[in-house]
């Protein structure tokens, strides 16, 4: 009975539908066609902009432009990260190295219908080779690492502010980059980013880091106190090991010196070695400089440091025992010595060079304000008094804020305000360098010669004479007080003419913060 009633009810409805046939108008839904997005988009992380400008054609309305309010646009990386909500994409590629699935979607807001195009974003490395540029940014001096990336001999691209996506904690007051390349099996090339709030080891290929790579937990058996931090890091290349450094030294902001000694099981920092008794408490503090021969291949097994408490030079020897390597020794003055290692003066600056087989040049200032340069030959067994330069005819040397010694000529460079001076130690003459174009609102933050650190310079990725010559170019970094803190820094590279005592600018890069160190990441 129920089935019959149902049939009676349905039959009129069916008839009504049949009668209304032709009263409805059907329209085909629009189709969106998206072109102009490659299946794979490749960019350099932190160096290039990710740009896309797709063309969108509606089968009903023709071309859809980015200002069409009837449509919404969305670029996404993976499932969550929104890259943009515009038709065209133009953003800095601040991504870690890797491959990311992405898609671009267009949605008709009137119908809810959408079309999507997938693409693969491939982010390649800018940190493989080139100049690492360590900066302090802003009034709080945030530590920032940029790179002048050498992709090929003809393609050089600056990469900005690399570390925020690579795991580095927020740090301030950067001091130096520690770099020690090695060919030793099982030992990676060392790259440390050092600040007055901590130091972190960077992955040699990606620059990734994290709390596990904190220098105090990575490289120390008994770490320094929480308020003491490594600010300088040096490697000594010896004459007998073709694979890696003979020793590595770390100096803290408290003036303590730590050492690692390869070949004798001492490849970890332990107690400070600025002491006369192994493993004892420090006897004095050292300046943040280390002196040794920079000849390649290495030709010395000694290092020299400066005791700032007693105002004297102290020496380190590789020696024949672990205990001998864990102390510093005051250097004895023989009768008739050219100068005394017990100087009684303040050390202003000290630099290791390749001049004359491995000269350490030290600039000191006495109580009356007069300066002297002492040259110490560190080749072989080290500590040979080479030369003494007094009564320097160097205007405003007492006002200098940056210094550098050349490795091919007896030249001291120093900066006063926005001017670079070359002082010839041999002739006691000083020459202002007009080729260094620093504006009136700029100040020089760094002078440096970046001597390559590799054990064998012939093993570099580019062993040509032209590339090797760049380690003897003066690096001049400056910052413009009238520009934004984040981009007022620039760095120039200047070949030195030893005959005319002049500089000439080869190339200059801009857009950095306040530069504190520049180190070439060798391959």
Give the neighbor-by-neighbor strand order of the sheet with 198-201: 174-180, 190-195, 198-201
Q: Give the pLDDT confidence score for residue 83 in this predicted structure.
A: 94
Q: Give the pLDDT confidence score for residue 383 in this predicted structure.
A: 96
Q: What is the largest CA-CA distance in the chain?
A: 133
Q: Which of 29, 85, 34, 37 is nearest to 57 (CA)?
A: 34
* Cα separation values, 375 from 55, 308, 381, 387, 456, Å: 68, 18, 15, 5, 25
Task: Kindly report, residue by residue over 320-346, the tens digit of the pLDDT.
Answer: 888 999 999 999 999 999 999 999 999
Q: Give the pLDDT confidence score for residue 25 in this predicted structure.
A: 54
**pLDDT band at 10; cut points 50, 70, 90:** very low
Q: Give the pLDDT confidence score for residue 432 in this predicted structure.
A: 97
**pLDDT band at 137; cut points 50, 70, 90:** very high
Q: Report the predicted TM-score, pTM, of the whole model to 2 decimal places.
A: 0.86
Spell out the long-range contacts of 326-331 with Cβ–Cβ below 8 A and sequence spacing 24 or more: 326/259, 326/270, 326/271, 326/273, 326/275, 326/278, 326/279, 327/273, 327/275, 327/276, 327/277, 327/278, 328/257, 328/273, 328/274, 328/275, 328/276, 328/286, 329/276, 331/304, 331/383
Sequence ranges of the domains in the chain: 32-124, 130-521
Range of weakest confidence among 36-40, 97-101, 366-370 = 97-101
Mean pLDDT for all residues in the chain:
92
Range of weakest confidence among 11-20, 93-102, 118-127, 140-149 = 11-20
Higher pLDDT, 271 or 241: 271
HSE at residue 492, side-chain half, CA atoms within 13 A, is 16
**pLDDT band at 37; cut points 50, 70, 90:** very high
Task: Kindly report, residue by residue over 397-418, the tens digit of the pLDDT.
Answer: 999 999 999 999 999 999 999 9
pLDDT at 481 over 80: yes
Q: Which of 390, 421, 424, 422 is nearest to 410 (CA)?
A: 424
Q: Where are the alpha helices (DSSP H) in 296-349?
A: 322-325
Task: Kindly report, residue by residue over 438-460, the tens digit of the pLDDT.
Answer: 999 999 999 999 999 998 898 89
Quote the CA–CA distance of 214 and 192 in Å, as a whole number. Answer: 9
CATH classification number, 130-521, choose in 3.30.365.10, 3.20.20.390, 2.130.10.10, 2.40.10.120: 2.130.10.10
Report the topology of domain 32-124.
Answer: Immunoglobulin-like (2.60.40)
Q: Give the pLDDT confidence score for residue 17 in this predicted structure.
A: 47
Q: Give the pLDDT confidence score for residue 265 in this predicted structure.
A: 60
Task: Kindly report, residue by residue over 62-117, the tens digit of the pLDDT.
Answer: 999 999 999 999 999 986 789 999 999 999 998 888 899 999 999 999 999 999 99
Q: Which of 415, 228, 382, 190 is nearest to 305 (CA)?
A: 382
Q: Give the pLDDT confidence score for residue 336 in this predicted structure.
A: 95
Whether omega for the bond prior to residue 297 falls within 30 degrees of 0, making it cis, is yes
pLDDT at 14 over 60: no
Q: Are 342 and 315 spatial neighbours (Cβ–Cβ below 8 Å)?
A: no
Task: Kindly report, residue by residue over 189-244, the tens digit of the pLDDT.
Answer: 999 999 999 999 999 989 999 999 999 999 999 899 999 999 999 999 998 777 78
Q: Are 223 and 216 spatial neighbours (Cβ–Cβ below 8 Å)?
A: yes
* Cα separation values, 494 from 80, 139, 147, 162, 514, Å: 47, 30, 18, 26, 19
pLDDT at 6 over 50: no
pLDDT at 39 over 60: yes
Q: Give the pLDDT confidence score for residue 270 in this predicted structure.
A: 94
**pLDDT band at 11; cut points 50, 70, 90:** very low
Residues 6+ apart with CB under 8 A from 500: none
Quote the CA–CA distance of 313 and 344 in Å, as a whole number. Answer: 10
**pLDDT band at 463; cut points 50, 70, 90:** very high
């Amino acid at each position: 009975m129920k089935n019959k009633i149902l049939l009676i009810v349905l039959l009129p409805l069916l008839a009504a539908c049949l009668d209304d046939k032709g009263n409805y108008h059907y329209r085909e839904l629009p189709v969106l066609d998206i072109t102009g997005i490659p299946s794979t988009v490749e960019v350099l992380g932190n160096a290039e902009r990710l740009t896309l400008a797709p063309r969108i054609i509606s089968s009903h309305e023709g071309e859809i432009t980015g200002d069409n309010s009837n449509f919404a646009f969305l670029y996404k990386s993976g499932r969550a990260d929104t890259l943009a909500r515009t038709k065209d994409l133009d953003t800095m590629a601040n991504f870690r190295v890797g491959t990311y699935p992405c898609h671009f979607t267009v949605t008709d807001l009137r119908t809810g219908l959408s079309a999507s195009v997938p693409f693969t974003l491939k982010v390649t490395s800018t940190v493989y080779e080139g100049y690492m540029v360590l900066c302090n940014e802003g009034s709080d001096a945030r530590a920032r690492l940029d790179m002048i990336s050498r992709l090929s001999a003809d393609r050089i691209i600056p990469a900005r502010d690399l570390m925020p996506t690579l795991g580095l904690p927020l740090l301030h007051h950067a001091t130096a980059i520690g770099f020690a390349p090695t060919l030793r099996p099982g030992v990676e090339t060392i790259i440390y980013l050092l600040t007055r709030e901590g130091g972190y080891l960077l992955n040699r290929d990606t620059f990734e880091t994290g709390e596990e790579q904190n220098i105090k937990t990575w490289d120390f058996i008994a770490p320094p106190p929480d308020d003491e931090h490594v600010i300088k890091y040096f490697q000594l290349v010896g004459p007998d090991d073709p694979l890696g450094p003979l020793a590595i030294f770390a100096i803290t902001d408290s003036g303590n010196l730590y050492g690692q000694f390869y070949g004798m099981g001492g490849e970890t920092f332990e107690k400070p070695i600025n002491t006369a008794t192994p493993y004892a408490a420090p006897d004095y503090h050292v300046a943040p400089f280390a002196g040794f021969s920079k000849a390649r291949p290495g030709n010395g097994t000694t290092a020299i440091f400066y005791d700032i408490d007693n105002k004297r030079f102290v020496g380190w020897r590789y020696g024949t025992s672990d205990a001998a390597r864990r102390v510093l020794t005051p250097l004895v003055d023989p009768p008739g010595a050219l100068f005394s290692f017990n100087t009684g003066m303040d050390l202003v600056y000290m630099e290791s060079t390749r001049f004359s087989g491995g000269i350490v040049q030290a600039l000191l200032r006495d109580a009356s304000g007069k300066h002297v340069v002492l040259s110490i030959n560190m080749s072989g067994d080290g500590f040979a008094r080479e030369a003494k330069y007094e009564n320097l005819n160097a205007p405003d040397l007492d006002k200098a804020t940056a210094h550098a010694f050349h490795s091919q000529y007896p030249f001291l460079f120093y900066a006063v305000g926005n001017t670079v001076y070359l002082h010839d130690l041999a002739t006691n003459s000083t020459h202002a360098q007009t080729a260094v174009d620093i504006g009136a609102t700029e100040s020089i933050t760094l002078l440096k010669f970046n001597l390559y650190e590799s054990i064998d310079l012939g093993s570099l990725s580019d062993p040509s004479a032209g590339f090797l010559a760049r380690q003897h170019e003066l690096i001049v970094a400056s910052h413009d007080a009238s520009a934004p803190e984040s981009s007022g820094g620039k760095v120039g590279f200047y070949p030195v003419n030893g005959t005319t005592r002049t500089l000439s600018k080869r190339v200059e890069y801009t857009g950095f913060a306040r530069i504190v160190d520049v180190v070439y990441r060798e391959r």
